[in-house]
Amino acid sequence: MSRRPLFFALALALLPASAFAEDLLQTYELARTGDPQLSAAEADRRAVKEGAVQARGAMLPQIDASASFNRQRNYTDSPIQVDPDTGEISGGNRRTETSTRRTGVNVDQMVFDFGNFARLKSQKALSKGADFSLESAGDDLITRTSQAYFNVLVAIETLAAAEAQETALKKQFDFADKRLEVGLAPITDVHEARAQYDSARANTIVRRNELEDAYQALTEITGQPVRSLKGLPEDYKPELPPEQTVESWVESAVKNNPALMATQYQVESAAADVQTARAGHLPRLYLNGSYGDTTSWGDVTFAGTQRLPFSDDHGYGPSVGLTLSVPIFSGGVTQSQVRAAIARRDAAQNQLEQQKRALERSTRNAYQALIAGVSEVEARRLAVVSAKAAYEASQVGLEVGTRTVIDVLINQRNLFDAQQTYAQAKYGFLQNRLRLDQAAGTLDIADVQEINRLLTVNADAQLQPAQ
C-alpha cells in the first residue's frame, strides 16, 4: 500500500514541469496536483486514520490536574446565654467565614474495558480501508483524466470533420447555384444544397462549443488550462493486452480491486462495532490514583464585634483505588444499540456483495468491449474510407449527370458520421483498456505511459482557425 503512491511521486517528479500539458502523461501530472477530488480523498484518509489514534488513546492513562478556591459565609442566630460562674457569654449573632484552596492531580488507567478494545479494532479496520479508498481515488483520477482528455480529442476530430463538411457543402451550394444559372439544375437542388450548407454551418458552431466545453471539463480536473494535445496517428492499430482470459481478469478484480477492499474493511469495522455495542453489558475496571493538597482558613465574628480567627487546616497526600462498574439496567438502550449495530453490519455485508457482483459485471463488460473494440476500430476506419470514396464518386457522378445533388449531400453526411464514430471508437478502445486495469486493481502510471506513447500527433493541427 505504501509503495504505489511513492512510485507515483517518483515517476511524476521525472516529468518536465510545465504549466500547459502537451500529452496525456503531463495532463495527468497536473491532475495529480490540482484535482480537488483527489485532495479531498487524501484529507478523508488523514481524518479516518486519526480514529485509531483516538481509540488507542482512550486505553492509555488519562491524567488531569485541578485547582479550586471556595469561600463560604455562614450566619447563625441563637439566644444569648451567660455562664453564672464565669460570666462567659455564648450564643447570639455569629458569622463564620471559611476559605478553602484545593489542588490535585488525577490519573485514570483502564484495566479492563472490552468496549475500548472493540472500538480500537473497528478503527484499525477503517484505517486500512482508508488506504484502499485513497488508492481507488487515485485509480479513478487516471480514468477521469483520460476520459476528459479523450473527450477533447474526439471533439477535435468531430469539429475538424464538421469544418470539412461545411467547406464541402459550401462548394456544393456554389456548384448547384452555377448549374441553376445555366439551366442544368432545378431550383430544388439549390434550395436543398443551401439548407444542408446552413445546417453544416450551425453544426460547426455547435461542435466548436462542445470542444470548448471539453477543454473546460479537463481544466476542471487539472486546475490549469490544457491545450495543444496529442492524439492518435492515422495508421493506429489497436492491440489487446497480454493474453488473459476473462475469468482471470475477474479473479484479479475480486482479489485486488481497491474499492472492493475498502468495502471489505468497512464490513470488518461494522462487525467490530457489534462487539462494541455488546460490551455495554460487560463490567469495566479502572485504576484510579490522585494526589491532593487542601488548605482551609477563616474567622468567626460574634455579635458583629468580637472576631476570632481560625487556625489553618492543611491536608495533603496520595490516594489509589480500583473502580469496578457493573451495568445492571439501562432502560433497554444497550439492547437497542446492539440491534442497530447488527443491522448496520448486515447492510455493510449486503453492500459488499452488491459491489462484488457489480465489479464482476463491469470487469466482464470491459473485457468484452476491449475484445470487440479491436474489430470495431478497424471496421470504423474502413467505414470512413468507404464513405469518403462514395462521397468522391458521387461528386464525379454529379458532374457527369449520373448522380443528383441529393446523392452528394447524403454521402457527405454519411462521411461526417463515419468520421465521428471512428474517433469515438479509437479513443473508446483506449479508455476501455484503462477501465479494465482499474477493475482488476492493476492500474498504475505505467498504463498511462504506455498509452501516452501511442499519442504522437498534434490534434489541434487539423482544425481550421476560428472565424
Residue 6 pLDDT: 46
The helix or strand, by DSSP H or E, that contains position 467, with its residue range, turns out to be none
Q: Which three cell numbers stand for residue 204?
A: 460547426
Report whether pLDDT(141) > 60. yes
For residue range 309-366, what is the model confidence (pLDDT) as tens digits?
A: 666 788 888 999 999 999 998 899 999 999 999 999 999 999 999 999 999 999 999 9
Count of C-beta atoms within a 10 Å radius of residue 39: 12
Percentage of the chain with pLDDT > 70? 88
Mean per-residue pLDDT for 226-242? 86
What local confidence, expressed as pLDDT, does residue 92 receive?
61
Nearest-angstrom CA–CA distance, 221 and 257: 23
Cell of 133: 479508498
Q: For position 120, what pLDDT does the model report?
A: 96
What the block records as the C-alpha cell of 290 is: 490522585
In the chain, the amino acid numbered 265 is Y
pLDDT at 466: 53
Each domain of the chain, given as residue ranges in start order, spans: 3-59+114-279+334-462, 65-112+285-325
Whether 281 contacts 308, CB under 8 Å: no
Please give the C-alpha separations between residue 101 and each of 104, 292, 458, in angstroms, as whole numbers.
Answer: 10, 11, 82
pLDDT, one tens digit per residue, over 257-274 is 999 999 999 999 999 999
pLDDT at 80: 62
Q: What grid cell was written down for 184?
A: 442544368
Q: In terms of C-beta density within 10 A (0-12 exposed, 13-18 middle, 19 or more buried), how is residue 74 classed?
A: exposed
CATH code that applies to domain 3-59+114-279+334-462: 1.20.1600.10
What's the rounded Cα separation, in Å, for the pair 41 and 39? 5
pLDDT for 253 beyond 90: yes
Residues 6+ apart with CB under 8 A from 285: 110, 111, 112, 113, 322, 323, 324, 325
pLDDT number for residue 462:
66
Average pLDDT for 394-405: 78
> Residue 397: what pLDDT?
84
At 266-306, the pLDDT tens digits run: 999 999 999 999 999 999 999 999 999 998 887 777 655 55
Residues 6+ apart with CB under 8 A from 105: 63, 64, 65, 66, 290, 291, 292
pLDDT of 7 reads 46
Query: Tell me, what DSSP letter sits at residue 282?
Result: S
The residue type of 242 is P
Distance CA 116, CA 457 (A): 60
The closest of 126, 130, 127, 129 to 269, measured between CA atoms, is 126
Instruction: Flag whether pLDDT at 124 surpasses 90.
Output: yes
Helix ranges (DSSP H) in 223-332: 246-256, 258-278
Ramachandran class of 129: left when φ > 0, alpha when ψ lies in -120 to 50, beta otherwise: alpha
Position with higher pLDDT, 272 vs 96? 272
Burial class (CB in 10 A: 0-12, 13-18, 19+), 28: buried
Q: Is the pLDDT of residue 32 over 90?
A: yes
> In this predicted structure, what is the pLDDT of residue 311?
61
At 407-419, the pLDDT tens digits run 888 888 898 899 9
Residue 14 predicted with pLDDT over 60? no
Output the nine-digit C-alpha cell for 49. 486514520
Sign, Cα dihedral of 183, 184, 188, 193? negative
Res. 5 pLDDT band, cuts 50 70 90: very low
Mean pLDDT, range 397-409, rounded to an integer: 78
Residue 89: per-residue pLDDT: 59
- Distance separating alpha carbons of residues 263 and 456, to the nearest angstrom: 40
Residue closest to 342 by CA, chosen among 294, 385, 278: 278
Enter the C-alpha cell of residue 106: 488525577
Query: Which stretch of DSSP H or E encloses residue 174?
Result: helix 114-181
What per-residue confidence (pLDDT) applies to 383? Answer: 93
pLDDT digits (tens, 9 = 90+) for 174-207: 777 776 676 666 787 778 888 888 988 999 999 9
Residue that wins the pLDDT comparison between 461 and 155: 155
* Range in 1-10, 118-127, 211-220, 305-314 the model is least confident about: 1-10
User: How high is the pLDDT of residue 303?
Assistant: 59
Higher pLDDT, 34 or 189: 34
Rg (CA), the chain: 40
pLDDT range class, residue 172, cuts 50, 70, 90 = confident
Q: What pLDDT score was predicted for residue 19?
A: 46
Rounded Cα distance between 213 and 207, Å, is 10
DSSP letters along 35-92, please? -HHHHHHHHHHHHHHHHHHHHHHTTS-EEEEEEEEEEEEEEEEEEEEE-TTT--EEEE
| This prediction's pTM | 0.82
Provide the strand spans (E) within 116-258: 230-231
43-47, 323-327, 366-370, 456-460, range with the lowest pLDDT: 456-460
Position 334 scores a pLDDT of 93
pLDDT higher than threshold 70 for residue 467: no
Which of residues 210 and 183 earns the better pLDDT score? 210
- Strands (E) in 303-390, as ranges, are 306-309, 313-325
pLDDT at position 447 over 50: yes
* pLDDT, mean over the chain: 86
